Amino acid sequence: MLTGFGWGVGSAVINGVLDNMESERNQNMDNYLIMRPFPQFETHGKNLKELWVEYRKDLYP
């Protein structure tokens, strides 16, 4: 699973992954989850909407 750690979604995703890892007795999170948190502040003269659109394109090339 790949997550941008979106507002209100990230914690639920992480808990689900950790629960599954425990049930499968596998402690290597890299096998289950890639986290790339989205920018939270406007930077480089771009508003958040612009940054998020660019970021999503990079997540799914």
Tens of pLDDT, residues 25-45: 877 777 777 777 788 889 989
3-state class (DSSP) for residue 7: coil
Predicted confidence at residue 32, as pLDDT, reads: 72
Q: Give, in degrees to the nearest 5, the angle at Cα 53 between 50 and 57.
A: 140
The rounded distance, in Å, linking the Cα atoms of 50 and 36 is 17
Positive or negative: CA dihedral 45, 6, 34, 1: negative
Domain span at residue 22 reads: 2-59
Per cent of the chain over pLDDT 70 is 84
* Domain count across the chain: 1
Does the pTM surpass 0.75? The reply is no
3-state class (DSSP) for residue 43: strand
